[in-house]
């Protein structure tokens, strides 16, 4: 007997939606774009892509998805956010915009464009807990400034000659069935972070 595949939505208002859908397609799940409340109601997990969190936040209101998404997250919907998605899932945003609405799914404060004060984009080799060594691409990325006691830190920027102020900063976290990374595994053809998330959805 075939086991039903979980349905994973990708919030498709803005950002690198296609890259997430393609990466999820390799994970033995049904991956679908989500733009309407009816589509959100049907998913077993949601991915919030990289892009621009201020724009996505505004579009959540325009598409009447802000409250339904907050409600589903509060009810325990598994979620994964990369970069802008990490910012959206936070409980507090530093250097955000006043009309930006944090979804509050992870008890953490993130700083928007945190690395941008030194360099816009960079790559680093991380040690990702439970996944292993991972090559990460950061694009105008946030970092996690602080996280609550219930938040598990999965990766930090390693110490290196070029890391500077970024060394030791938290760039991947998990709280219950919510996962967030400051970087973009959907852009590197490495499906391991998405597989971790889809396993979280299966177990939830
Ligand atoms: N800087 C963007 C923001 O504030 C995030 C960038 C990204 O997702 N690559 O939302």
126-146 confidence digits (pLDDT tens)? 999 999 999 999 999 999 999
Over residues 167-196, mean pLDDT: 96
Question: What pLDDT, on the 0 to 100 scale, is given for residue 1?
Answer: 47
Over residues 37-61, mean pLDDT: 98
Write the residue with the smallest CA distance to atom 9 of ligand 1: 139
The three-state secondary structure class of 167 is: coil
Q: How far apart are the first and last CA of the chain?
A: 21
Write the residue with the smallest CA distance to atom 5 of ligand 1: 84
Tokens of 24: 């999820």
Burial class (CB in 10 A: 0-12, 13-18, 19+), 131: middle
Question: What pLDDT, on the 0 to 100 scale, is given for residue 158?
Answer: 92
Angle at 58 between CA 16 and CA 41, to 5 degrees: 70
Expressed in angstroms and rounded, the spacing between residue 87 Cα and the centre of ligand 1 is 8
Does the pLDDT value for residue 111 go beyond 80? yes
Expressed in angstroms and rounded, the spacing between residue 18 Cα and the centre of ligand 1 is 16
Question: Rounded mean pLDDT of the chain?
Answer: 94
Write the residue with the smallest CA distance to atom 2 of ligand 1: 52
Does the pLDDT value for residue 149 go beyond 70? yes
Ligand 1 contacts CB of residue 112 (under 6 A): yes
Of the chain, the percentage scoring pLDDT greater than 90 comes to 87
Over residues 101-128, mean pLDDT: 89
Radius of gyration of the chain (CA): 16
Q: Are the C-beta atoms of 87 and 53 separated by less than 8 Å?
A: yes
Ligand 1 contacts CB of residue 50 (under 6 A): yes
Active-site residue, from 20, 83, 101, 194: 83
Question: What pLDDT, on the 0 to 100 scale, is given for residue 2?
Answer: 52
Please identify, by atom number, the ligand 1 atom nearest to the C-alpha of residue 87: 10
pTM of the model: 0.95
Question: What pLDDT, on the 0 to 100 scale, is given for residue 75?
Answer: 97
Sorted by where each starts, the structural domains of the chain and their CATH numbers stand as 7-203 (3.40.50.880)
Establish whether 184 is a catalytic residue. Answer: yes
Over residues 81-101, mean pLDDT: 96
What phi-psi label fits residue 85: left (phi over 0), alpha (psi between -120 and 50 degrees) or beta?
A: alpha
Question: What pLDDT, on the 0 to 100 scale, is given for residue 117?
Answer: 60
Does the pLDDT value for residue 7 go beyond 50? yes
CA distance 118 to 106: 26
Over residues 118-133, mean pLDDT: 88
């Amino acid at each position: 007997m075939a086991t039903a595949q979980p349905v994973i939505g990708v919030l498709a208002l803005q950002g690198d939606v296609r890259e997430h859908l393609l990466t999820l397609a390799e994970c033995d799940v049904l991956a679908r774009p989500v733009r309407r409340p009816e589509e959100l109601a049907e998913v077993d997990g949601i991915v919030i892509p990289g892009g621009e969190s201020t724009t996505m936040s505004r579009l959540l209101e325009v598409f009447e998805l802000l409250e339904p998404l907050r409600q589903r997250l509060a009810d325990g919907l598994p979620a994964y956010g990369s970069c802008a998605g990490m910012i959206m899932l936070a409980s507090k945003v530093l250097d955000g915009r006043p009309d930006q609405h944090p979804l509050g799914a992870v008890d953490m404060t993130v700083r928007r464009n945190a690395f941008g004060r030194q360099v816009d984009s960079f790559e680093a080799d991380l040690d990702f807990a439970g996944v292993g060594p991972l090559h990460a691409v950061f694009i105008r990325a946030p970092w996690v400034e602080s996280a609550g006691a219930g938040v598990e830190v999965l990766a930090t920027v390693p110490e290196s000659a070029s890391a500077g102020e970024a060394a030791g900063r938290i760039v991947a976290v998990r709280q219950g069935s919510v996962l967030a990374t400051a970087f973009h595994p959907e852009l590197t053809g490495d499906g391991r972070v998405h597989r971790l998330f889809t396993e979280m959805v299966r177990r939830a």
